[in-house]
Amino acid sequence: MTPSQVELVQSSFAKVAPIADTAAGLFYGRLFETAPEVKPLFKGDIAEQGRKLMATLAVVVNGLTKLEVIVPAAQTLARRHVAYGVRPEHYAPVGAALLWTLEQGLGPDFTPETKAAWAEAYTLLSSVMIEAAADAAPVA
């Protein structure tokens, strides 16, 4: 990611953070609408899950300038997700729901450049997570 892309992701997330609970609700609503097959993977309180999501996003967004720190954390998270039943094909609808949520939350501030920066960040992190999950997955 370029420094400009990192700045776009960080500055736009700062605008979404004040509406974190609303954003999380929008995200899960959209995810379950577009990928209903993932809904059974969420067994706990979805509001609590939303708080965890937004906290994790904050760590990732703030750490984009320190990939050597967030990549190992993302790998650990991905390995845990394997146990919950997350599969590689789940990452695409999650990314799409994230971009949609940001568009809803940011409105006109979700410029094409901001969208591209977020897509780059998500692609980077999800590819790291998919690779780590594959290493952790039990051999059939």
Residue 21 sits in a domain whose CATH number is 1.10.490.10
Give yes or no for residue 137 having a pLDDT over 70.
Answer: no
* 87 within a domain of the structure (yes/no): yes
- Quickly state the pLDDT bin for 63 (edges 50, 70, 90): very high
Judge residue 9's burial from the number of C-beta atoms within 10 Å of its C-beta, 0-12 exposed, 13-18 middle, 19 or more buried. Answer: buried
Total domains in the chain come to 1
Please give the model's pTM, rounded to 2 decimal places.
0.92
Give yes or no for residue 140 having a pLDDT over 70.
Answer: no
Q: Which of 119, 86, 118, 125 is nearest to 8 (CA)?
A: 118
Structural domain boundaries, residue 10: 3-135
- Quickly state the pLDDT bin for 135 (edges 50, 70, 90): confident
